[in-house]
Structure 1
Amino acid sequence: MIKNWFKNLGPGPLLAAAFIGPGTITMCTIAGVSFGYALLWAMVISIIVTIVLQEMAARLGIITQKGLSEVIRTEIKSPVFKTFIVVLILSAIVIGNAAYEAGNISGAVLGLEAILVNPSLNLFGVTFKSFSLIIGALAFVLLYIGNYKVIERALITLVILMSLAFLTCAILTKPNVLDILKGAFIPKFPENGLLIIVGLIGTTVVPYNLFLHASLVKEKWQKISDLRIARKDTFVAVVLGGLVSMCIIISASAIQGESVSSAADLAKGLEPLFGSFSKYVLAIGLFAAGITSAITAPLAAAYVASGCLGWSSNLKSIKFRCVWMFILVLGVAFSSTNIKPIQIIKFAQVANGILLPVIAVILIYIMNKTSVLGKYKNNTKQNILGFLILGITILLSAVALGKVFL
């Protein structure tokens, strides 16, 4: 039975790999330290929202055998609006992922630095952190092989490792199960908690995951009959990813101190409470989370660019490889030299803030087109959920833009 489950396992775990990155870990850590279990319900909402949107993306990919950006390019008829959407998508996903890639690699480096010394390397008068170069090289090899099954298996292994690490950490804290259930199913809005609530949802409902998922499902499944398996794969993976995030919140709740503001601080904070074992477990989880995101971010950018510009989305095509190489090299350079591309990150936040509700609207519009999906278009229940989620994405965007401009 386990063998069959692994055989039918699709790109779902890659979604978990993509949205559980250093940013998610940091946000969950702050939520746990600041508010204990009180904001676990925000993760439950995040899981529901993500399942609904990702199911739409998976259904679109399987039925049309096209990526989301390809469908958008062919279905939007107005040249002006199409140009605006394509530029917005490329700005948010390609440029955005280039800016965020440094954070993904840095997250993996932090995991290693919690248990190992990071030697520096001097090349041409520039000092590089060795761990950043090693992680970049590992991601490069996996992506350059250009075999979907190899990438999938590597990421599934890392996701399992990450899940076990954070689950072990949460268990070590010996949490009160009743308090966890209250936090998960009874919404509370503590003072100064609104931005954290929005942040928890925002780090889970990731725009580029919609593009990545629609592109990856067609690599795995080509038959309409596979839709049932794809839905199960999406549900299991998103719930697993959400539970991992909740485990991080639970782990962080064991520490009460304002000095804890990142996953690295969490690793240090858990050590005196639960011994050095907890530090090593969390370091492994942080490393796995960082490196999985460091692989999926360039991959998503390559799929998006290929779909928007009409290129081949073959993993071994030159243009496809050039995009992910560009993202990865920038990420390694920024991470290993401690350069912080603040203006690029701000630009990416603005672009992503605008993109999320726009893509939600376009996705719902496309999912209702009989000419695209036939009898597999959205039903009434899916549309009601879709429009409720649209309201949430508008709120997320408003807060994200407010953080940049205020």
Structure 2
Amino acid sequence: MTTENSPGTKSDGAGGAAVRKSSWRYIGPGMVVAATGVGAGDLVSTLLAGSKFGYTLLWAAVIGCIVKIALAEAVGRWHLATGRTLFDGWRSLGAWTTVYFAVYVVVWGFVYGATAMTTSGLPLHALFPDGPGLKFWAILSGLAGLAVVWFNRYAVVEKIMMLFVGVMFVVVVYLAIRVSPDVPALFSGLVPTLPDGSVFYTLGLIGGVGGTITMAAYGYWVNAKGWTDSGWMKMMRLDNRVAYVTTGIFVVAMLIVGAELLHAANIALTDGSEGLVDLGDVLEERFGSTTAVLFLVGFFSASFSSLVGVWHGVSLLFADFVERVRAARAPNGERPEDSAKQVSRGEREKSTPFRAYMLWLTVPPMALLWLEQPFGLVIAYGVLGAFFLPFLAGTLLWLLNTDRTPHAWRNGLLSNVMLVVGGLLFFVLLVEKIRSLL
């Protein structure tokens, strides 16, 4: 990684920043946000879609990937074009964004912490069934994620995440090849169709490819990488596209596994992350214990990478939130200057609010490992979580089409269309989520 001008750089024509040459060796933040977004829940929803409808909903996974590329690009463009953080942009839209985020980040973080620890502990418990129980592995996973983020800065976290991305990608693609996909049927799934009873699964595939709140963290990771001005725009776009194409391949591979291994044999999985343990049993019966172990290792990689990514990325968001609230209360409404440079120096990663939120994600949620999640808390978590992507798409449309963004970097027609389409799709998913909860 470097923040120096590359030889032969030129002005971007929109503020004088030197354009850095895009290079594959700089890729990183996109992989981090994509790996964080693809967790056990996405594995299960993709598998279930494949097991129930074969390849029919492949087109939905492709659309989901394209929409997420547009969302992440918009987040990164805001950070690089303005030199301001996303939460700083939200605050400029009114106090309502602060109220929403404050409620969201507290409730969501409490329930997600328990969920992430449990899903990371499940494959470990399946790998070592005679060892300590699931609660032990869940707590160990949470503490391990806390240690990884607490004692390291972004550069090290990125390397760890890239390792997990590599493991889960290789394992899932290997499984997709092993089950011998029906290639003609696979390509036929690119034609949009909606079989009876498939609407919820279709929306889940579109909304579940690559994250929710962690997409908002992309700009913070871009800044932490050292990309702090519009000269890095080309590199950010390459990074984002490579990451979500990789995610798309990963999702298609999981759909193939569901279609060939489960749909063809009419095998049903348990709802929730426990269904992945069931899949491990199916793989062991058909392909042997080695393949089953490899899958559980990939399952753990997907789950633990999501845990580490949230512990780091959402904590950055929370730390920025606290900075903005404090600044608003300061004399004359002063705010920290050049927040992007603060992130690049790693100051926010070692701040008290950053570490406090990591502890909030880790320690209080451990109580939910013993207690049934309260019904009201589950509903609030589900509704707030489903609302975040419409909120993100809507606020990005607002920020990137007004004078808050330099004219040269405002939305074009394609960006506006993709954000509107994404926002509408996510709103429909929100309505369906509320209906299912209530």
Q: When the two structures are superposed, what TM-score results if normalisation uses the length of structure 2?
A: 0.83
Quote the residue 1:290 is aligned against.
303
Structure with the bigger RCO (C-alpha within 8 Å, sep 6+) is 1
In structure 2, the residue matched to 1:95 is 107
Cα distance between partner residues in 2 of 1:375 and 1:363: 16
Distance 2:365 2:60 in 1: 30
- Residues 143, 362 of structure 2: 8 Å contact kept: no
Higher helix share: 1
The structure 1 residue matched to 2:383, chosen from 350, 364, 375, is 350
| Aligned partner of residue 372 in structure 1, secondary structure | coil
Q: 1:95 to 1:162 in 2, by over 3 A?
A: same
- Alignment correspondent of 2:352: 318
Q: Contact between 1:104 and 1:290, CA under 8 Å: does it hold in 2? A: yes
Give the drift of 1:138.
Answer: 1.6
Q: What is aligned with 1:9? A: 27
Aligned to 2:363: 329
Larger Rg: 2
Asked if residue 63 in structure 1 is aligned to residue 75 in structure 2, the reply is no
Q: Deviations over 1:109-130 (max 9, x none)?
A: 2222232126338xxxxxx732
Supply the AA of the counterpart residue of 1:250: I
1:209 deviation in Å?
2.4
Within the candidate set 410, 414, 421, 1:377 is matched to: 410
Percent of matched pairs sharing the same residue: 23
1:280 aligns with 2:285: no
Confirm or deny: 8 A CA contact 1:107 1:289 kept in the other structure. no
Correspondence for 1:263: 276
SS in 1 for 2:195: coil
Q: Relative to structure 1, is the Cα distance of residues 90 and 245 closer, same or farther in structure 2, using a 3 angstrom cutoff?
A: farther
| 3-state SS of paired residue (1:120) | coil
4+ aligned runs moved over 4 Å, structure 1: none
Amino acid at match of 1:334: L
Instruction: Provide Cα deviations, 1:210-256, integer angstroms capped at 9, x if missing partner.
Output: 32112111111123221101101001101111221221121122123
Match of 1:223 among 222, 229, 245: 229
Contact 2:168 2:299 (C-alpha < 8 Å) held by counterparts: yes
Paired residue secondary structure (1:218): helix
Whether the 8 Å CA contact 1:108–1:290 is kept in 2: the answer is yes
Structure 1 distance, partners of 2:99, 2:51, is 39
Could you list the per-position Cα deviations for residues 140-178 of structure 1 after superposition, in whole angstroms to 9, with x for gaps in the alignment? 111101411011100111111111111111111011122
Q: CA contact under 8 A between 2:214 and 2:310: conserved in structure 1?
A: no
CA RMSD of aligned residues (A): 2.1
Q: What corresponds to 2:40 in structure 1?
A: 22
User: 1:79 — aligned with what?
Assistant: none
- Please state how far the C-alpha of 1:24 moved relative to its aligned partner: 0.5
Partner amino acid for 1:328? T
Point out where structure 1 has 5 or more consecutive residues left out of the alignment.
Answer: 77-81, 122-127
Q: Which residue of 2 aligns with 1:177?
A: 183
Offset at residue 105 of structure 1 (A): 2.0
With 203-212 and 53-62 compared, the bigger mean Cα shift is at 203-212
Alpha-carbon distance, 1:358 to partner: 2.7
Q: Is residue 35–residue 210 contact of structure 2 (8 Å, CA) maintained in 1?
A: no
**1:252–1:266 CA contact under 8 A, matched in 2:** no
**Separation in structure 1 between the aligned mates of residue 155 and residue 380 of structure 2, nearest angstrom:** 34
The one-letter code matched in structure 2 to 1:158 is: F
Please point out which of 140, 153, 163 is paired with 2:159: 153
Residue of structure 2 equivalent to 1:201? 206
Distance, in Å, in 2 between the alignment partners of 1:252 and 1:89 is: 36
Partner residue in 1 for 2:218? 213
Deviation at 1:300, TM superposition (A): 3.1
* TM-score normalized by the length of structure 1: 0.89
Q: 1:132 to 1:354 in 2, by over 3 A?
A: closer
- Return the match for 2:246 from 240, 243, 264: 240
Q: Does 1:187 align with 2:189?
A: no
2:70 pairs with one of 46, 49, 52 = 52
CA–CA distance in structure 2, aligned partners of residues 172 and 21 of structure 1: 22
Query: How far apart in 2 are the matches of 1:352 and 1:243?
Result: 25
Matched, 1:394 2:427: yes
Provide the rounded CA distance (Å) in 1 between the counterparts of 2:152 and 2:351. Answer: 9
Q: Which runs of 5+ in 2 are unaligned?
A: 1-21, 325-341
Q: Which amino acid aligns with 2:269?
A: V
Aligned partner of 1:304 in structure 2 is 317
1:39 partner letter: L
Deviations 1:40-81 (A, max 9, x none): 1110010011001110001111222332112111x22xxxxx
Equivalent-residue separation in structure 1 for 2:249 and 2:374 (angstroms): 32
Q: Pick which of 145-154 and 370-379 moved more.
A: 370-379
